Amino acid sequence: MLYGSVRDAFLFLTYTCRMPTLDAPSLAFSQDGHHTVTATGAWHVQALMPAQTMADIKLALKSAGTTDAQHWDLSQIDSMDYIGAQLLWNAWGRQRPAQLTLAPQHEDFFRRFEETGMLDMRKAPQKHWYSLDVMLQRKIALADHILGFIALIGQLVIDLGRFLRLPQRGPWKEISANIFHTGYQALGITALVGFLIGIVLSYLSAQQLHQFGGDIFLVNILGMAVIRELGPLLAAILVAGRSGSAITAQLGVMRVTEELDAMLVMGLPHGFRLILPKVIALAISMPLLVVWTDAMALIGGMVAANVELGLTYKYFLRELPDAVPLANYWIGLGKGVVFGGLIALVACHFGLRIKPNTESLGAGTTISVVTAITVVILADAVFAIIFTGVGF
């Protein structure tokens, strides 16, 4: 079937070079004496594309398969390709029918099918979710994540030691660039969300407090809630969604493009040059964002209180320091530092584990953000337990 050289092939092959108008393929049955099935038209994938044509052909092939007539006449077919030929071949039960008339230029298709024979893929082993193997696998994967995360923290401590020993050789540029990306560029969104949450919280509380005549306690509620809990948490969730996903995707693409390997080969350790700057940058920019979000939420609350309850701005600002002890502010800042570091660590952990394919990149980024937010809320609960008696 393979011609001696390219040149020879030109002598008797036909090539198509315009968008052709193909006759739809069809089958005709004749019942006179010996049953003959005559195929006509173009058995070509382009001709088979209309859904109706395909349905007709499928039906015709099915009924042809049931009659045991079986003289097949394919000599009137205009053109054929592997897909059209495969349709016929499968209708014949993957073998040549006893009586077959075939144009010589279409002989190759069926010879190729005969030579190749039946191709079979190995079945993928199906595992049930409740099988011991799968459960063990899952447990191993979880243990692997936990160990990996601990190793990451360990590496971070070593790198931090190296940084403190020789601060002049530290990754200052990377740190400053990361502060810009994770801090400065997040100012807009944190301000907007903080302001709106402040308004919502203030309105809801004001309505309830007004019923009991406790209007003046709005400052206490708003101040405590925002500075101690909501400010740090809001900023952390926004940063986890914004910067956490960016860090994971960045490291993942660096894995896909082998940049991570290139760094190792050049003697630039990932921990010191990629992870440490991100953790330090987020640990610096997060408390600053917390202060910013606090301020915006309180301004939002203040505006709403003025509209709803008629509390003046002057009164609100004068009451705030008395209502909220300073310790709460420091707890909020501390939360910011811890949350920032955790978000960076979780994002780096999942980023470094991305495998070089697109699906893994998507899945890794998703799980990174979800885990970062969960870890932040867990850490918040730990803070709440540790500082139960502080700041009231």
Partner 1 sequence: MNTCDPRHPAAEHNLGSQTIIEITDLRTQFGDTLVHENLNLHINAGEIVSLVGGSGSGKTVLLRQMLGLNQPTAGTVRVFGEDINRISSEDLQALRTRWGMLFQHGALFSALTVFDNVAQPLRELRVLPKDVVRDVVLLKLQMAGIGPEHARKMPADLSGGMIKRVALARALALDPDLVFLDEPTAGLDPHASESFVDLIRELHDEMKLTVIMVTHDLDTLFALSSRVAVLADKHIIAYCAPDKVVEFKHPFIETFFRGERGQRAFEALPEPSERKEDA
Q: By the criterion CB under 8 A, which residues form the site for partner 1?
A: 1-3, 6-7, 9-11, 13-19, 44-46, 48-51, 54, 58, 81-83, 86-87, 89-90, 94, 108, 112-113, 116, 119-122, 124, 355-359
Q: How far is the CB of 23 from partner 1 (least distance, A)?
A: 16
Nearer to partner 1, 113 or 350 (CB): 113
Looking at beta carbons only, is 82 or 203 nearer to partner 1?
82
Closest CA to 21 of 39, 38, 46: 46
For partner 1, the closer of residues 119 and 385 by Cβ is: 119
What b/e string do you get for 336-350 counting C-beta neighbours within 10 Å, with b at 16 or more? bbbbbbbbbbbbbbb
* 344 residue type, one letter: A
Q: Give the shortest CB-156-to-partner 1 separation in angstroms.
A: 29
Cα separations (Å) of 356 from 140, 250, 264, 348? 22, 13, 17, 16
d(CA 179, CA 331): 22
Beta carbon nearer to partner 1, 208 or 366: 366
How far apart are alpha carbons 341 and 388 in whole angstroms?
23
Contact 257, 356 (CB under 8 A): no
Instruction: Tell me the C-alpha distance between 98 and 80, whole Å.
Output: 21
Residue 39: how many CB atoms within 10 A of its CB?
22
Least distance (Å) from partner 1 to the CB of residue 352?
17
Report, in Å, the least distance between residue 74 CB and partner 1. Answer: 17
Q: How far is the CB of 16 from partner 1 (least distance, A)?
A: 5
Q: How far is the CB of 281 from partner 1 (least distance, A)?
A: 31
Using the minimum distance from each CB to partner 1, give the nearer residue, 8 or 322. Answer: 8
Beta carbon nearer to partner 1, 111 or 138: 111
Closest to 196 measured CA to CA, from 319, 301, 74, 308:
301
